[in-house]
Structure 1
Amino acid sequence: MTDKSCTRNDNLAWVAGSDAPEKRTVNLGFMALSDSASLIVAATQGFAQPYGLTLELKRQTSWAGLRDRLLSGELDAAHSLYGQVYGTHLGLGSAPTEMAILMGLCQNGQAINLSEPLRQAGVTRADALAARVRQHGAKLTFAQTFPTGTHAMWLHYWLAAQGIHPLEDVNTVVLPPAQMVQHLKTGHIDGFCAGGPWGALAVDEKQGFTLATSQMIWPDHPEKVLACTRAFVEQYPNTARALTMAVLEASRFIDASDDNKRSTAQLISGGEYLDAPLLAIEPRFLGFYEDGLGYAWRDDHPLRFFADGEATMPWLSDGMWFMTQFRRWGLLREDPDYIGVARRVHQLTLYREAAEALGIVVPEHPMRSSRLFDGHVWDGTDPAGYARSFAIHARSSAIAAASL
């Protein structure tokens, strides 16, 4: 790894006396995805030890398994899907358990890929896909990674914007991200939405092509978070703060230079982490994309881990957006207390303490405004109205509930 001395902070106020971590060994879950990088770097490159922590990385094979181990206490904290945390908190697909988001882990970097047979059939644009869906015959099958997760929401949102009802016009299945390419290859699915490196690997192995990236849907969108149960934060507040500081430093290190990104990509490609070819990780890690259709570009909104704190800030409006989509798709039968739930889940005080100790600027207002690709503006001011504003939505909660 590249020398990180320029990013280290000598303020170790949280490691002594009453601020010392109550629990010094933290079991940290992660999935084999490029956006788990800051946890891997924090655990293996010396970012945790100055805060009195040892981070034990635990690779998981599915998001459902990760959730269950987090709730059982087998994992203390984990690389988590933003929407999954809210789904667990609200009791969607499992018993409601109060959850906590310590910080954001990344923005951008996911992809919607279609299969090689669809490419050969000329279905290489959104309008061609919509035309194919309108044809009579067997429905296309798309995979996402978890019913309340980010990939389900990106896939639903993108399909609906093309006039395709994600709950009625196509079939959807849940698969672990590392299995997407194999299922595409065998013809079990016609497309998928997942994080890197699996979209790039499908292109590299000529099993499909990238039709859209998640940052095309929402530039600099929220993606993975560092999550734990609220009970963990309440029992081990100093540990949670120290963990946040260690991961914040690792996030800042990764984004500091392309050299740091390259060395990080090399690290995480290893068998104990992603176990994937470096050539499927590094280019998109650096923002270089090829879609498998002959087009290559440098993305203006690449996968990013820090971005001067914008990517790590646990914006309340980000969490609220996922609840609006749960309401839109019938996963919630009534509007929740959007801001109240978000304030309960997001550990803003703890994040502010950790960030400010590291010299990271924390915005005074925990809401942000974004324009998505279909023209809808999201700023969190009217979540109930926003959830009702879409022409395509669940016609009944029974349809959406069946997917859980």
Structure 2
Amino acid sequence: MTDSQNTTRADNLAWVAGSDAPEKCMLNLGFMPLTDSASLIVAATQGFAQPYGLTLNLQRQSSWASLRDKLLCGELDAAQALYGQVYGIELGIGGPSAEMAILMGLCQNGQAINLSEPLKRVGVTSSEALGRHVRHDGARLTFAQTFPTGTHAMWLNYWLAAQGIHPLRDVDTVVVPPSQMVAHLKAARIDGFCAGGPWGALAVEQGQGFTLATSQMIWPDHPEKVLGVTREFVERYPNTARALTMAVLEASRFIDGSLENRRSTAQLISGSDYVDVPLSAVEPRFLGHYQDGLGNAWEDRHPLRFHGDGQVNMPYLSDGIWFMTQFRRWGLLRDDPDYLAVAQRVQRLDIYRQAAEALGIEVPPLMRSATLIDGRTWDGSDPAGYARSFPIHALAGNARAIAL
């Protein structure tokens, strides 16, 4: 901890006194066994919450559906959540509906699409070969993702479509909790998966498959996990929401602060209470060192990030809107919602701005732009037109049922 960080903490002790004191001091914080849960684990275990009057009780979850259910019933106060998962709940897509809130982004990048060892043996080791295998050889492959409205479903759909493979017609998809992906691959129940770390790296390490694409290849510095709560929680405990955001912001800044901090964080989260895998499956990609299982190694230009001077943590309106465009694209929404209005409800920019400004973290513009793998630029300006613009989509179809 640097002297300036200690000074910042001391200055912000004022937030735990008087009218700014947290209304609720002990919080149950849900997380999944993933490398990108790091900021929550660090905040809870390394002294970042106590200065704000909080005690964070970490509770590891077995699936995103279980995490959702516990968050909605109040068993969890806040949780690591998939960006698209929060919007799916807000819009009532195929499951429990509730008014939701995103306090901040937790990370960018760091997810992977892996294929199986049997596909490797028959030469399906590139996107072109996969396209030929599916479209011309008539192979019916099964891919796993982690939650129907979640980020991994959207990355998988987007990437397949960019290769000319229709994700709803040309392949089958199933939902599998991230920690079970490698076992399903080994048992030949699936031919590939999209999930967060360390599961892509572990599949490579165990000789069960190879990484064909990373999520940052699809969208460099894409939105990924968020700190999610119900809107009722924010309205009932606004000081607590702000204090929690500040604690996790400080933890995020700490992780990205140095290579040493990253190494120590990788060591921490690999432990049995958290991700529970060998450090060798966590640390390399945590540090941006990639091996794909095909003999290729590289230093990633867009590695898993937790802070990036606040660029990672900002709950951009355009990020939330993008996921809704994909719901519309794939028939999960029958009609266009009021994209901007929904995002303005869900993204709690007021809470984030208060927390960031108190910590001296710059608050960037509410919209950002990016060019994705298919060459299309997203800037949030015309979401309805963007959703309709793709050559591969399912806009005319009915919303698919989701029962998880």
With structure 1 as the length reference, what TM-score do the two structures score? 0.97
CA offset digits 1:66-117 (Å, max 9, x no partner): 0000000000000000000000000012232100000000000000000000
CA distance in 2 between counterparts of 1:16 and 1:242 reads 11
Offset, 1:399:
6.7
Tell me how many residue pairs correspond in the alignment.
401
Residue 392 (structure 2) pairs with residue 397 (structure 1): no
The structural deviation recorded for 1:235 is 0.2
Q: Distance in 2 between matches of 1:21 and 1:395?
A: 45
Matched, 1:56 2:57: yes
Tell me if the contact between 2:48 and 2:251 (Cα under 8 Å) persists in the aligned partners.
yes
CA contact (8 A) 1:59 1:273 kept: yes
Following the alignment from structure 2 to structure 1, what is the Cα–Cα distance between the partners of residues 127 and 134? 11
How far did residue 123 of structure 1 move? 0.2
**1:26-175 correspondence to structure 2 within 5 Å:** 26-175=27-176
Partner of 2:189: 188
Distance 1:216 1:204 in 2: 21
CA-to-aligned-CA distance 1:266-298 (integer Å, 9 cap, x gap): 000010100011000000000000000000000
Residue among 5, 26, 38 paired with 1:7: 5
Alignment partners' CA distance in 1, 2:399 and 2:127: 25
Q: Secondary structure at the match of 2:343?
A: helix
Corresponding position of 2:338: 337
Contact 1:7 1:253 in 2 (8 A): no
- CA–CA distance in 1 between the matches of 2:403 and 2:155? 16
Return the offset for 1:21. 0.2
Deviation at 1:136, TM superposition (A): 5.0
Q: How does 1:293-332 map to 2 (within 5 A)?
A: 293-332=294-333
3-state DSSP class of the match of 2:398?
A: helix
What secondary structure sits across from 2:262 in the alignment?
A: helix
When residues 30 and 4 of structure 1 are mapped into structure 2, their CA distance, relative to the original with a 3 A threshold, is: farther
Gap regions ≥5 residues in structure 2: none
Note if contact 1:394-1:400 (Cα within 8 Å) is conserved in structure 2.
Answer: no
Amino acid at match of 2:274: Y
How far did residue 134 of structure 1 move?
1.3
d(CA) in 1 for partners of 2:399, 2:131: 21
Q: Which residue identity is paired with 1:132?
A: H
Say whether residues 1:385 and 2:390 are aligned partners.
Answer: no
CA distance in 1, matches of 2:38, 2:173: 28
Q: Confirm or deny: 8 A CA contact 2:333 2:399 kept in the other structure.
A: no
8 Å contact 1:330–1:401 — kept in the other structure? no
| Percent sequence identity over aligned pairs | 74
Instruction: Report the residue type matching 1:325 in the other structure.
Output: Q
Distance 1:285 1:6, change over 3 A: farther
Q: How much is the aligned-residue C-alpha RMSD, in angstroms?
A: 1.2
Q: Quick one: distance in 2 between partners of 1:39 and 1:360? A: 18
Change (3 A) 1:399 1:350: closer
- CA shift for structure 1 position 14: 1.1
Deviation at 1:4, TM superposition (A): 5.4
2:399 and 2:100 map into 1 onto residues whose CA distance is: 26
Amino acid aligned to 2:30: G
**Secondary structure of 1:75's aligned partner:** coil
Residue 291 of structure 2 aligns with an amino acid whose one-letter code is E
What secondary structure, in the 3-state scheme, does the structure 2 residue paired with 1:244 have?
helix
Give the 3-state SS of the residue equivalent to 1:226 in structure 2. strand
Structure 1 residue aligned with 2:240: 239
Question: Offset of 1:395 from its aligned partner?
Answer: 5.6
- Alpha carbons 1:147, 1:403 under 8 Å: kept: no
Asked whether the equivalents of residues 253 and 260 of structure 1 are also in contact (C-alpha less than 8 Å), the reply is: yes
**Contact kept? 1:142, 1:172, Cα under 8 Å:** yes
Cα distance in 1, alignment partners of residues 46 and 2 from structure 2:
9
Question: Match for 2:64: what amino acid?
Answer: W
Q: How far has the Cα of 1:373 moved from its partner?
A: 1.4
Specify whether residues 16 and 227 from structure 1 end up closer, same or farther in structure 2 by C-alpha distance, changes over 3 A only: same
What do residues 163-222 of structure 1 show as CA deviations (whole Å, max 9, x unaligned)?
A: 000000000000000000000001000000000000000000010000000000000000
Q: Distance in 1 between matches of 2:30 and 2:5?
A: 25
Partner Cα distance (1:65, 1:46) in 2: 28
